[in-house]
Chain A
């Protein structure tokens, strides 16, 4: 079993990161149209999972953990983000 190789502790502590694949959850996913994007950063500020990454002069969606809540699309003032069915967009990797 995997457990036997794990470090042993005498009490309840944890080391190393525990994480679940929340990218699996989403039904719809956001697609960002770079041409319409005004680079205001609102989507970056409001994404609860911090899926929107700021690059030097633009923003990009990292789909790894995106739960598909749709806040980014709702908050975007320039209509640059649309929610589409998961997997139906060429932007979405997951």
Chain B
């Protein structure tokens, strides 16, 4: 029987991992991720889970240990944030190009400078083109459910790619919420065994991993990698439905559509800010403004088709980014959404918003103001400069 507990986001992540019981876990502590490592080492010493825990000397080694374990056929897990993720970049990129289904939680934290430990997905967004799948989640229940789903998605033969489950530091990592914990037997049934054939280091099946390679072959591998990302679009949706079958919980797969169907305006969010925005949408609807919310869950692969279907034909849209895209004068998700809409052949005004950097709050009022700005952009038929949501 599923149990209910009141736990913080990091514990939800650790509990998800304990239900999956990876063969090898390697992690290095970093705020705000540290308690994930603490929970997992405790589970291992208590014999609650049968996993090999490596307390590595750096994030670079965390990903390297997992690369080795995954190359041998093992199921793996790690978690990191911010500077740890950037230190890990070298083996991080390679885990995807070697097509290793490593699962990694990212407790999103700002990149320094300035020196800070507070939340914001600048870290994982900065590595969005390193070949990994990336899903951004909103609350603690979604953390737990998505980490379990992540293994099924990553290890599927059509995909075989590593995956990040990203959630905002402190807002989720340290806040407690009610979380339903599925039955381990259900998870065992949900997750087939991982038996890699595409790449393996096994003395009974000698294989070279990463021989010196010509450009034509590199192109071939990259093309297949891009295709696998596109396959993941279907799989993320399928796995979400399958998971709903055993737990009753669904997150919409690639995106969540909140009241967009009959809306004139759409506001786009990602991560923990979404809850406050939902409230703002309801308020504005009560005032007579037909607005809907589109929550981006999958950033890689980017759900271009879904975004087009939901936003095209509306009067205007806006995107609230808790991050920046240097050189564009906007946030990153704004550029991604706009890019997806190019093929819809229908132009509409749009507003880029940036807020909540360095863990600052994005309030319901911010979102209400933002919705008004989107409405005004339609009325004035213009594309305003980036609007900064400041406190």
Contact = CB atoms under 8 A, between A and B. Distances in A.
Interface of A: 9-15, 18
A12 B207 contact: no
A82 B218 CA distance: 46
A9 B198 contact: yes
B207 A10 contact: no
Q: Identify whether the interface residues of B are mostly helix, strand, loop, or mixed.
A: loop
B209 A12 contact: yes
B228 interface: yes
A12 B228 CA distance: 15
Interface of B: 97-99, 160, 198-199, 206-211, 213, 217, 221, 224-225, 228
A66 to B, nearest CB: 24
A18 B212 CA distance: 11
A12 B207 CA distance: 10
A2 to B, nearest CB: 13
Contacts of A9: 198-199, 221
A13 B207 contact: yes
B211 A11 contact: no
Contacts of B211: 12-14, 18
B208 A15 contact: yes
Contacts of A18: 211
Contacts of B207: 13-15
Contacts of A14: 207-208, 211
A11 B198 contact: yes
28 contacts: A9-B198, A9-B221, A10-B224, A10-B225, A10-B228, A11-B97, A11-B99, A11-B198, A11-B199, A11-B221, A11-B225, A12-B97, A12-B98, A12-B209, A12-B210, A12-B211, A12-B213, A12-B221, A13-B198, A13-B199, A13-B207, A13-B208, A13-B210, A13-B211, A14-B207, A14-B211, A15-B206, A18-B211
A14 B206 CA distance: 9
Contacts of B225: 10-11
Contacts of A13: 198-199, 207-211
A73 B98 CA distance: 45
A19 B206 CA distance: 16
A32 to B, nearest CB: 33
Contacts of A15: 206-208
A14 B208 CA distance: 5
A18 B228 CA distance: 29
